[in-house]
Chains A and B, each alone.
Chain A
Amino acid sequence: MKPRTKRLFFVLLALCCVGAASALIGKAMKGNLAYLHTPEEVLGGEVPKGQVFRLGGLVKEGSLKRSATELEARFIVRDNRNHEITVVTTKILPDLFSEGKSQVSRGKMGDDGLFYAEEVLAKHDAEYMPKELSDTLNKEHAPAKANSVKETKTKGTY
């Protein structure tokens, strides 16, 4: 065997090892790297009490309420299986934060069952479309859904 062929096999073997390592790390990240917890996990008692964690989920339509005198805001975070947790925050909400959209907030569960967030972040999806185009697409594809969203979108500001 020529030394060149030997080295080729060595490099290919190394590549296979790297590929396996990559696959294993990817698998480990899916299982253990809990970046955020869903309301279902929190209500199910999977998150230890008094621990700082991230709560992910959708902001419930019509649930955002701002205090008249303080910077405090409250909103309900829900998942797709209707588990709900009320979040209390005194931080400034990001530009993209809105009802019906995803958010990730970091904080602790209080003894009163409320989630006190030190930081509220807004998530956005990978949709990059002008507003008009997106609206027409929504109307064409799901007219019933678009209407129902509009009806329930009543902002509580007081």
Chain B
Amino acid sequence: MKINWFKYSAPMSFYPLAGKLIPLFWIAAIMLILGGLYWGFFKTADILNDQKQYYRIIYVHVASAWMAMWLYAVMVFWAMLGLIFNTRLSYMLASATAVTGTVMTIIALATGAIWGKTSWGTYWDWDPKLTTFLILLFVYIGYIALQSAIDDVRRSDKASALLALVGLALVPIIYYAVNCPDPTQCASLHQESSLKRVESNILIGMLVTTLGFWMYSFATTLMRARIIVLERERSTTWVSNLPEISLAETSNSKIEARTETRS
């Protein structure tokens, strides 16, 4: 059986499918995040080898940092599909992913600062990993800014897709800034990010929360993509035939009629 992959690249068929999936992703996100945090806060040791209770911010910090980098790769994937196939929906998904990615980057930087103050003794330091992560935030913001700076949608999509592609160079640098084979060559304040010496209970909490953050990213990205679809396709008949749109329009026209009679 040949599957028509391009069927769901049409905004018309994507819109209702995303609408059905969003509640499922929300339920999965809430359950996984609550479960992961519960496990992390109540089923793990209070005091580690060197760190005290404050290490528990790891569940939010690691999950958001991983998602920030992963969503960047996802965004570039959609941008590349858009560049190659010229599909409108790919660009819409790319710009929808960018906002969630920015939020994740901000969460990772904020929780990292709080954790850093308690353990290292400073909110911020110009360490290679921290600095490259800050640049990632600027690239995300640059992508969104470039997209909203150009009025022509097709041109803004292409320009911002190229920017996203160039910014991809950052992701491996962030990873290797602390994980290079010879630790004397890449001295940093941030510890290496290895899962080898993490106790299994802590690991469970981390992975479940990360999965929850991922589901949250799906939910918010799809919600935002639906709004972008409505915005960009508003002149088409299928959008004006949607029940929620026609309802809103009739109520709008009612209000207009009312104001007209008043004046």
Contact = CB atoms under 8 A, between A and B. Distances in A.
B77 to A, nearest CB: 11
Contacts of B83: 7, 10-11
B168 interface: yes
Contacts of A22: 168-173
B245 interface: no
B50 interface: yes
Contacts of B235: none
A101 interface: yes
Contacts of A8: 84
Interface residues of A, number: 47
A14 to B, nearest CB: 5
A35 to B, nearest CB: 5
B45 A126 contact: no
A133 B119 contact: no
Contact of B192 (A94, A120, A125): A125
A101 B165 contact: no
Interface stretch (A26-34, A44-52, A64-72, A145-153): A26-34
A129 interface: yes
B8 interface: no
A127 B49 contact: yes
B153 to A, nearest CB: 18
B5 interface: no
A35 B121 contact: no
A96 B173 CA distance: 28
Contact of A129 (B169, B180, B184, B197): B197
Contact of B51 (A7, A35, A96): A96
8 contacts: A4-B84, A11-B80, A22-B171, A35-B188, A126-B191, A128-B48, A129-B197, A131-B49
Given A15-B80, A104-B189, 12 more contacts: A11-B83, A11-B165, A14-B162, A22-B170, A121-B189, A122-B119, A123-B189, A125-B191, A127-B49, A128-B58, A131-B47, A134-B49
